[in-house]
Structure 1
Amino acid sequence: MEITKNQNKAVDDIVEMVVSVIGKGSREMDATEAISSTARLAGSFLFRSFGFNVADAKPGSAMLSEEANTKGPQLVQITHAVLQKFGVQIDNNKMSGSNRKRAESNFVDAIAQVQGPALEIMKKNDLSYEEMAQSAAIATAFIIQQSVNIAPEEGFGTAIYHYIEGTKTFPPEFSVVSEKPTNTKAPAKEATEPKGGSKPWWKFW
């Protein structure tokens, strides 16, 4: 699977958006909420790529499908491959159900916060729902790699749980987009931040 230049551009925007929207621009953000947000986004946009037309489904309803069973694992594979590229090794012996930590936030409430800005990112980079889902899976790997206070296996397990949730849950409708573009960028760095550094101004804990 080849990731395009536009998909890579979207990855940066997704991470910044999650820090801004879910973390409310805080310098420190809960790792589980950050990982679950991008994983839910990846799963939910992949779900939208299936093109289901269900008139009476309510947001949050379980939607089991062969498409989710077939394409959902691709998100896991992308995240695992990117983690390996980052030098993060996942010990399969440490992977278990107990590592799949669930976010405290409700799926519908959480996805409603990020899906609108994510749609704008998708359109800006001329991506399909499936391509955007793949970008979100890469963003998930990046957040796992940056989360210093949790084991990689815990972060990966959390991502897997919320990928499944996203691909098998009916999402809410997109909100009406304002005429003014939504600012999905995180606040500027404080003056005390060293210039020219390669580290992000935020961290996940």
Structure 2
Amino acid sequence: MPLPPADLPPWNGDRDTLLHAAKGVRPPPAIPQPSAASLLQKPYFLAADYALRSTGLHSDAPTAPFSAYWQPAGGQGLTEPARLLRKGEEFRHFGVLNAAGTVRYGPVTWEHCLTIRHNHGAVEPRAARGLLREVARPEPLLSCACGQACPVSGVWQPWVAADHPLQAIVNQSWRQAWLTQGAPFPQPRRDWLLALPDDDVTWHLMEASIADPANA
């Protein structure tokens, strides 16, 4: 819902309508797309709605120091996928080609991988239970750059890439804005006081206003 002095959308007098309008919105969860790891068997299997991210933590120990996904660190000539190991489980040995051109069979350095939620780039802000209301995804999906004028009145969500250093404070439901058709989108530097280029942010329509003539 916009704040004064912005124009407020029409209200039908129902209390619940007012409460719902004050909440952020989110679409239904996207259906996970199969990933390469989700098609593998244990211990390589990883559910499709998760991905692996390297933490940079290496281990030369003979066994896993704690339960997690581990894979041979880069630069050793190995392409082994990450596997789930329990604490104390032995790391595999591999045959590795050394500088002399001969194969050495033995232990290698392992790298820890963190499991993170992965929704394949879907715009799905998250919040504590009860703070968001679920709405159908707009059809067609509509996205705009910061410099564009708002084409459709409704609730818009700013979004940056998942690996952007500011994603944790931009990809939030409380960044949503109710905008009227023709209004400018908020600008990160001017309106949020963030050192964030406009080109890094994309605005996505989350819920169109029924009263908007463009949706009639």
Q: Same fold (TM over 0.5)?
A: no
TM-score with structure 1 length normalisation? 0.23
**Which structure has the larger Rg?**
2
Counting helix residues as a fraction of each chain, which structure ranks higher?
1
TM-score with structure 2 length normalisation? 0.22
Counting strand residues as a fraction of each chain, which structure ranks higher?
2
Which protein has greater RCO, CA pairs closer than 8 Å, 6+ apart? Answer: 1
